[in-house]
Amino acid sequence: MAKKKRKSNQSRVSFRKRHQGRVRDSDLTRQFHVGDAESLADAVKNERVSGKGDLTRKRTVVGVQAGAPASADDPQSHDSLLIGGRVLRAHGLRNTVLADDGRTFECSIRQVLKSLSIDGRGTVVAGDRIQFRAESETTGMIEFVAPRHGIISRQSRGQQHIIAANVDHLLIVTSAAEPTIKPALIDRFLLSAEQCGLNPVVIINKCDLVDPASLQPILGVYASLGYRVLLTSADRGTNIDYLKELLRGKQTALSGQSGVGKSSLLNAVEPGLALSVSEVSKDNQKGRHTTTTSTLIPLQGENAGWVFDTPGIRQFQLWDITAEEVAGLMPDLRPHVGECRYANCLHLSEDDCGVKNAVADGRIDARRYDSYCHLLEDDLLL
C-alpha cells in the first residue's frame, strides 16, 4: 500500500516533555471489573502502540515547520493572510514586531510554537524574521519563525540564552576608563564571534579620558590578530562618522559590559533615538543596567542598517564551547596547537606543549595566554 502523503503545510514535530499529553497506562486491565459491561463497551479496543496520537511526544501540526521553519521571506507561503516582519523586542509574552510594510504590532506567540521541543530560552528573540497574523490594527499572532543565523548567546542557568539572532557584525564595546578596559571580557566575546562566524570589531569608547599612547599595546595585539579596532568618544564625536559607515547596510549587535557607553554611541550615531544612559558608579566603577533587554533598532536613512542595543553583561559565560575547543578558536594560539606532544593537551601544565613554548619565545602575547588560562580554570574546568 502506498504511503499516505502528508499535506505540504503539515509537519511532525517534537514537543517538550511537559506537553506530551497523557502517557500509556501501565496495565489497562486494572481499569475494568468483570461484569462492568458499560465500561467494557467504552474501552478503546484498537489503540495503536506504534507511536501515534496521544502515545507519542510528536504531533502532526498544521502550519509549523520544526526541522526547517518557514522563512518569513518565502513567497510560496501557504497562507496569504500572513504578514512578514522582524522582531524588534521580545519581552515576556509580548513581542514588538515591525512589519515589512512599516507598521508596528504587538504580537503574542502561537501556543504550539512555545510547546515545541527546542533548546535554550525564548521561542522568539530580537532579530528573528517571522510571519504573523494580524488580529487588529496593532496586535497579531506569530505563526512562523524563520531559521536563524549569526546567533549571539551566553550560558544562563545551564541553558542557552540567545541575546540576538540574525547578526551580521558584532561590535565589542569597551571603555578606556570609567570603567577600565577589561581585555579578558573582550577575549570572551571574540571567542563567541569566532564560533558563530561573525565579523567582530573592537570599539574602545571614552578614549578622550586617557592618553591614547597608553592604549597602543593592546591595540597592537588585536590588530596583529586581524581584528579591526576603533577608538571612539561619544561625548566628543570622535570617529562617529566612521562608525556610521561601519553600520550601513548591516544588522549589527553591540555587546559589552554595563557603563561602557553602548547606548551613548547609538545616540551619537542617531540623536533622535534618545536611549536612556546613566553614569558609572564612582565606588565600584561598574555601570548600571539601563538597557534591560535586547532591542533591534532601525536606523534612519536609505540602507542605514539595523543595530541591536543589548543589555550590559558583567560576566559573560560562554555557551557550547568546550575546554578543548578554546585554543582552536583563538587565532594566535591555533597555529601552535599541532606542536604539542599530546593530542588532548589543554596547554596548562602539560609537558612539551607547543603553546607554552610559543609564549616563552614571545610568539604569543603573555596577556592573551593568561586570559586563556583564566577562562579554562574559572569557567570550563569546574
**Per-residue pLDDT tens over the stretch 78-98:** 466 899 999 999 877 789 999
* 136 is an annotated ligand-binding site residue: no
pLDDT value for 57: 52
* 53 is an annotated ligand-binding site residue: no
Select from 1.25.50.10, 3.55.50.30, 3.20.20.220, 3.40.50.300 the CATH code of 164-309.
3.40.50.300
pLDDT value for 106: 95
* 46 is an annotated ligand-binding site residue: no
Q: Where in the chain is the domain with CATH 3.40.50.300?
A: 164-309
Q: Residues 9-29+63-147: name the CATH superfamily.
A: Nucleic acid-binding proteins (2.40.50.140)
Look up residue 269 and give its three cell numbers. Answer: 550615531
Burial of 336 (0-12, 13-18, 19+ CB in 10 A): buried
pLDDT value for 182: 87
* 345 is an annotated ligand-binding site residue: yes
* 107 is an annotated ligand-binding site residue: no
* 294 is an annotated ligand-binding site residue: no
Give the integer Cα–Cα distance in Å for 188 and 171.
Answer: 13
Q: Where in the chain is the domain with CATH 2.40.50.140?
A: 9-29+63-147
End-to-end CA separation in angstroms for the chain: 56
Which residue(s) pair with 230 in the sheet? 203
* 259 is an annotated ligand-binding site residue: yes
Say how many C-beta atoms besides its own lie within 10 A of residue 354's C-beta. 18
Q: Indicate if the alpha-carbon torsion angle 51, 56, 61, 67 is positive or negative.
A: negative
pLDDT value for 29: 58
Say if residues 124 and 109 touch (Cβ distance below 8 Å). yes
What's at 327, amino acid-wise? Answer: A
Per residue in 319-364, pLDDT (tens digit) is 677 888 899 999 999 999 999 999 999 999 999 999 999 999 999 9
Angle, helices 183-196/366-375, rounded to nearest 10 degrees: 70
pLDDT value for 152: 80
Give the integer Cα–Cα distance in Å for 310 and 178.
Answer: 19
242 phi, psi to nearest 5 deg: -65, -40
Nearest C-alpha neighbor of 342 from the set 330, 355, 333, 326: 355
pLDDT value for 381: 66
Architecture, CATH, for domain 323-380: Orthogonal Bundle (1.10)
HEC string for the chain: CCCCCCCCCEEEEEECHHHCCCCCCCCHHHHCCCCCHHHHHHCCCCCCCCCCHHHCCEEEEECCCCCCCCCCCCCCCCCCCEEEEEEEEEECCEEEEEECCCCEEEEEECHHHHHECCCCECCCCCCCEEEEEECCCCEEEEEEECCCCCCEEEEECCEEEEEECCCCEEEEEEECCCCCCCHHHHHHHHHHHHHHCCEEEEEEECHHHCCHHHHHHHHHHHHHCCCEEEECECCCCECHHHHHHHHCCCEEEEECCCCCCHHHHHHHHCHHHCCCCCCCCCCCCCCCCCCCCCEEEECCCCCCCEEEECCCCCCCCCCCCCHHHHHHHCCCCHHHHHHCCCCCCCCCCCCCCHHHHHHHCCCCCHHHHHHHHHHHHHHHCC
pLDDT value for 311: 62
* 224 is an annotated ligand-binding site residue: no
Say if residues 117 and 164 touch (Cβ distance below 8 Å). no
* 353 is an annotated ligand-binding site residue: yes
Say if residues 230 and 204 touch (Cβ distance below 8 Å). yes
* 261 is an annotated ligand-binding site residue: yes
Look up residue 208 and give its three cell numbers. Answer: 578622550
* 196 is an annotated ligand-binding site residue: no
Say how many C-beta atoms besides its own lie within 10 A of residue 194's C-beta. 18
Instruction: Give per-10-residue mean pLDDT for the chain (382 aa).
Output: 54 53 54 53 51 50 45 48 91 86 91 61 82 93 88 71 85 90 87 84 94 90 92 92 90 84 87 67 46 77 79 56 89 94 93 96 94 84 62
Query: pTM for the complete prediction?
Result: 0.69
* 206 is an annotated ligand-binding site residue: yes
pLDDT value for 340: 95
Q: Where in the chain is the domain with CATH 1.10.40.50?
A: 323-380
Q: Based on C-alpha coordinates, what's the Rg of the chain?
A: 26
Query: What contacts 10, CB < 8 A, 6 or more positions away?
Result: 60, 61, 62
Say if residues 78 and 8 touch (Cβ distance below 8 Å). yes
* 207 is an annotated ligand-binding site residue: yes
* 347 is an annotated ligand-binding site residue: yes
